[in-house]
């Protein structure tokens, strides 16, 4: 069964719930969007899974009135739950990411509310210094048919909404994610025009970065991703690098966690929470805060020229809602990694949230942006 919804002006996630039913999904084929076309959504038999596991420990966000402290008893609750408020969750669920009804073996889904909340901070943080060398490379591509940009783990499409407006010329964005729910949001809120007013079109593809190949990137001008590298394993990073270098296209990979956080005013427990959170990020072989160093090594081994620039979140009183949600997930992941911190972490979180509400807390969450320039193929200079 096919379903069509009107395409909307790009730039904001619509206040609609996405696919009408949790069993309604984007098919394994393609979903096309342009500035004037409708958005067809194919129904599938099962929901897809989210593209990756926890990114920054806080990919969910809750509604009003969520609790600010640790679960009763001061330690993670049943099912390994972390601090209530880190994501929409019911008792007994892992609170970090759970969004809605899923099967028992299905990983949690990213909440579009959280992705929307963090989008302005992401846009302000991304490195503009990497855009000039990227523009030079793209300007030297053969042919005049426009750019083809693949966005991996696109979520609700925030990278496209940011980058499309910084690049000239016609653009066709291919948005990849394993979650049809998020692909829906990405499609209907996609950008409609480039920096010079040229047309932008979009298609969506369900897929897994662990299965990406150079053939899948045939004809690509650029690969992008946000907050993705730190939730990859080394093997998945090698797969990504093989695909990009094999296709001869550059990769702009932004907002990978750097493992450093600065809070003002300081607290003696800051370093302990940071260390436990970083350990949590490395669970199950994930690269976590080592991701950018590993990516530099792997892309360089394959002949790419790699540049890295800082892209920190700088959160103050104007970002209090984002700061509060980030704090809940950050402390919650630390406690999940080290349950013995629970009693002290409850006090720490309570004090930090109070300072945040009073407009007294400033937080710098360090990230890194990476531009990997693979050797071009097909005669591009």
DSSP state letters, 177-223 = ES-HHHHHHHHHT---B-TTS-BEEEEEEE--GGG--TGGGTT-SEE
Residues with Cβ within 8 Å of residue 94, at least 6 apart in sequence: 79, 80, 81, 82, 108
- Which residues make beta-bridge pairs with 307? 371
Select from 258, 373, 376 the least CA-distant residue to 311: 258
For 321, residues 6+ apart whose C-beta sits below 8 A from its C-beta are 117
236/106: higher pLDDT? 236
What is the Cα–Cα distance from 9 to 191, expressed in whole angstroms? 7
- What is the per-residue pLDDT across 267-299, written as a single tens digit (0 to 9) for each? 999 999 999 999 999 999 999 999 999 999 999
Helix (H) or strand (E) segment spanning residue 371: strand 362-373
**Helix or strand or coil: residue 235?**
helix
pLDDT in tens, 146-185: 999 999 999 999 999 999 999 999 999 999 999 998 999 9
Q: What's the mean pLDDT when you consider all of the chain?
A: 78
Kindly state the tokens that stand for 124. Answer: 């302000």
Least confident of 56-70, 106-120, 195-209, 287-301: 56-70
| Percentage of the residues of the chain whose pLDDT score is greater than 70 | 70
Q: Which of 47-51, 325-329, 353-357 has the least mean pLDDT?
A: 47-51
Beta strands in 1-87 (DSSP E): 2-5, 30-33, 39-42
Q: State residue 109's pLDDT score.
A: 63
The per-residue pLDDT for 257 is 96
Contacts of 266 by beta carbon, 8 Å cutoff, 6+ apart:
none
Cβ–Cβ < 8 Å for 209, 240: yes
**Do you know the residue count of the chain?**
381
What percent helix, strand, coil does the chain show, rounded to 5?
Answer: 35, 20, 45
How sure is the predictor about 145, in pLDDT bands with cuts at 50, 70 and 90?
confident
What confidence score (pLDDT) does residue 378 get?
62
| Per-residue model confidence (pLDDT) at position 295 | 98
Convert the pLDDT of each residue in 106-129 to its tens digit: 555 678 889 999 999 999 999 999
From start to end of 7-122, where are the E strands? 30-33, 39-42
Which positions ≥6 away from 273 have C-beta within 8 Å?
A: 330, 331, 334, 341, 345, 348
The backbone torsions φ and ψ at residue 272, rounded to the nearest 5 degrees and listed phi first, read: -65, -40
pTM of the model: 0.77
- Determine which helix (DSSP H) or strand (DSSP E) holds 279, and give its type and residue range: helix 270-281
* Sign for the pseudo-dihedral over CA of 289, 293, 297, 303: positive
Query: In this structure, how many other beta carbons lie within 10 angstroms of the beta carbon of residue 11?
Result: 13
Residue 131: phi and psi, rounded to 5, are: -75, -35
Task: Report yes or no: 84 and 95 within 8 Å, Cβ to Cβ.
Answer: yes
**Pairing assessment for the beta strands 222-226 and 147-152 based on DSSP bridges:** parallel
Confidence band for 377, pLDDT divided at 50, 70 and 90: confident
User: Looking at residue 144, what is its pLDDT?
Assistant: 67
Closest of 53, 103, 123, 65 to residue 288, by C-alpha = 53
pLDDT mean over 244-266: 97
């Amino acid at each position: 069964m096919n379903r069509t919804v009107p395409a909307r002006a790009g730039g904001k996630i619509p206040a609609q719930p996405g696919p009408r039913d949790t069993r309604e999904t984007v098919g394994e084929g393609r979903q096309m969007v342009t500035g004037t076309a409708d958005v067809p959504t194919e129904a599938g038999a099962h929901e897809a899974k989210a593209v990756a596991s926890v990114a920054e420990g806080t990919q969910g966000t809750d509604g009003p009135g969520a609790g600010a402290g640790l679960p009763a008893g001061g330690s993670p609750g049943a099912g390994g739950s972390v601090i209530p408020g880190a994501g929409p969750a019911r008792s007994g669920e892992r609170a970090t990411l759970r969004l809605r009804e899923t099967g028992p073996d299905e990983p949690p889904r990213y909440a579009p509310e959280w992705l929307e909340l963090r989008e302005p901070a992401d846009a302000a943080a991304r490195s503009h210094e990497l855009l000039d060398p990227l523009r030079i490379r793209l300007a030297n591509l053969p042919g005049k048919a426009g750019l083809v940009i693949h966005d991996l783990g696109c979520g609700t499409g925030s990278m496209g909404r940011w980058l499309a407006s910084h690049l000239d010329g016609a653009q066709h964005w291919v948005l990849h994610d394993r979650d049809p729910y998020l692909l829906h949001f990405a499609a209907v809120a996609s950008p409609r025009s480039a920096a010079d007013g040229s047309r932008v079109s979009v298609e969506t593809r369900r897929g897994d970065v662990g299965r990406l190949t150079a053939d899948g990137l045939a004809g690509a001008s650029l690969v992008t991703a946000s907050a993705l590298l730190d939730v990859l394993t080394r093997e998945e990073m090698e797969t990504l690098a093989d695909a990009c270098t094999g296709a001869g296209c550059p990769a702009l990979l932004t907002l990978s966690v750097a493992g450093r956080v600065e809070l003002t005013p300081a607290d003696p427990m800051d370093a302990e929470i940071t260390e436990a959170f970083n350990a949590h990020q490395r669970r199950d072989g994930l690269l976590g805060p080592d991701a950018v160093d590993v990516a530099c090594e792997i892309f360089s081994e394959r002949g790419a020229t790699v540049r890295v620039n800082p892209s920190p979140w700088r959160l103050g009183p104007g970002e209090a809602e984002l700061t509060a949600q980030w704090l809940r997930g950050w402390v919650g992941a630390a406690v999940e990694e080290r349950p013995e911190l629970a009693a002290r972490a409850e006090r720490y979180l309570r004090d930090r949230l109070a300072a945040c509400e009073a407009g007294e807390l400033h937080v710098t969450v360090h990230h890194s942006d990476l531009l990997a320039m693979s050797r071009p193929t097909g005669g591009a200079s």
